[in-house]
């Protein structure tokens, strides 16, 4: 039977892709929850669109090579993924701001705690 060598070192780092999924899910839920009080012609689609746009930010940052993750990479990915939504809705500042800051936070988390 094969067993892993016992080195005495215990790593609590989560794989970056899994951490990206988790962070993207949380970011998507928070973004959708913040839109619940607003009025939209098709609220269900607006909430799903906001969720998946923010979820995609975490997933894409999770795909970045571990040595290249960081707040700047996350901010760029957050900005680029948020740009189509901002153009369609013409709500540039809130959508781009939240996407960029959220991406930067996720990038920092993945660089700090991901493996």
Q: How many CA atoms within 13 Å lie on the side-chain side of 12?
A: 2
Please, what is the Cα angle at 98 between 96 and 102, to 5 degrees? 120
User: How do the domains of the chain map onto residue ranges?
Assistant: 16-113
76 or 13, greater pLDDT: 76
Q: Give the model's pLDDT for residue 2.
A: 53
8 Å CB contact between 91 and 38 = no
pLDDT in tens, 83-106: 999 999 999 999 999 999 999 999
Q: Rounded distance, CA 37 to CA 88, Å?
A: 21
pTM exceeding the 0.75 threshold for the entire prediction: yes
* Region 65-85 average pLDDT: 92
pLDDT in tens, 15-48: 889 999 999 999 999 999 999 999 989 999 999 9
């Amino acid at each position: 039977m094969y067993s892993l060598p016992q080195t005495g070192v215990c790593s609590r780092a989560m794989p970056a892709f899994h951490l990206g999924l988790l962070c993207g899910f949380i970011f998507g839920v928070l973004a959708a929850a913040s839109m619940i009080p607003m009025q939209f012609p098709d609220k269900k689609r607006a909430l799903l669109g906001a969720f998946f746009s923010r979820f995609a930010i975490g997933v894409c940052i999770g795909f970045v090579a571990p040595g290249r993750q960081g707040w700047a990479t996350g901010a760029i990915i957050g900005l680029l993924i948020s740009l189509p939504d901002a153009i369609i809705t013409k709500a540039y500042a809130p959508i781009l701001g939240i996407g960029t800051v959220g991406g930067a936070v996720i990038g920092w988390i993945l660089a700090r705690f991901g493996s």
